[in-house]
Structure 1
């Protein structure tokens, strides 16, 4: 079932190799380039089938967006129920990260400072930190002279 859309579709070889290496970390097994390429092709095919089924489910519900529920239903229909608990864990982790990002972004907005002012403050903190680091390598006379110059 090769879908030819006129675009080359692939997965990053380095990423796939890293995943394979992690899975096989405690074994003496190595994977040939050809086997890795076959795993990539199988992964692409699986993603295409899963996306197509999820899209069909969204269409059936007159939705224009595929949701995680559509993907989970497609996995169930493809009889990949064993993936669902791990997928739910990933979804929960992702939602926690999004919430943390929203809190952080909210704090920045509430600060009332422009991005330029925040960058200026950050640079000032870097300058002070470098100064402290350098002062550890300075004589007391050099440190006193530097402090007088800052004032």
Structure 2
């Protein structure tokens, strides 16, 4: 009932206008402008630009763990100067993290291209080694190959140890139940159908 009595504005423009008190047309709503010099406006624009740069552009899922990056950097610094305990500024740590993230993205994209050229969908270690040569980091190939071989040997040793433990458990279960039917024989003896 009230909706019929109160006229509704028909456009957004009508919502932003204030009625004129002298009975004339409605005036658009305006904000008073602050007088800002050219130098001040440039300074404001630069400040906003710095704030945008400081905002996180990278989602958290793509960030490298800061503790790991800090540990790697401190370890390398301790090898360079063992007698001095160096601290790392927050911005420097961020720079290390971002540069490592970008390097990983670039290396993985190159390895992915090599993999696609071979008409495969899974990137192998050889693709990564070839990508390192393609992006002109051949000095990393030899240490990375050695590290990869060590990892494979350690992993193979762990797998062999786990297989042995599993085999021992399986043998113990078989010894406890000879013939696989030890419980059935006991049940048959209770029923009187077994050997007496």
Q: Which TM-score band (shorter chain)? A: 0.5 to 0.7
TM-score by length of 1: 0.67
SS of equivalent residue, structure 1 residue 55: helix
The residue that corresponds to 1:82 in the other structure is 139
Deviations 1:106-150 (A, max 9, x none): 212211157xxxxxxxxxxxxxxxxxxxxxxxxxxxxxxxxxxxx
CA distance in 1, matches of 2:70, 2:100: 13
Q: Please state how far the C-alpha of 1:31 moved relative to its aligned partner.
A: 2.3
Structure 1 gaps of 5+ residues are 115-151
Change (3 A) 1:13 1:73: same
Change (3 A) 1:7 1:16: closer
Is residue 107 from structure 1 mapped to residue 160 from structure 2 by the alignment?
no
Root-mean-square deviation (CA, aligned residues, Å) is 1.9
Change (3 A) 1:8 1:46: same
Is residue 55 from structure 1 mapped to residue 112 from structure 2 by the alignment?
yes
Among 71, 74, 95, the alignment partner of 1:21 is 74
Q: Please state how far the C-alpha of 1:32 moved relative to its aligned partner.
A: 1.0
The residue that corresponds to 2:3 in the other structure is none
Change (3 A) 1:20 1:5: closer
The residue that corresponds to 2:47 in the other structure is none
Q: Which has the higher contact order (CA 8 A, sep 6+)?
A: 1
CA distance in 2, matches of 1:91, 1:60: 24
SS of equivalent residue, structure 1 residue 44: helix
CA distance in 2, matches of 1:34, 1:17: 12
CA distance in 1, matches of 2:60, 2:87: 31
TM-score by length of 2: 0.52
Structure 2 gaps of 5+ residues are 1-56, 174-196
How many residues are aligned here? 111
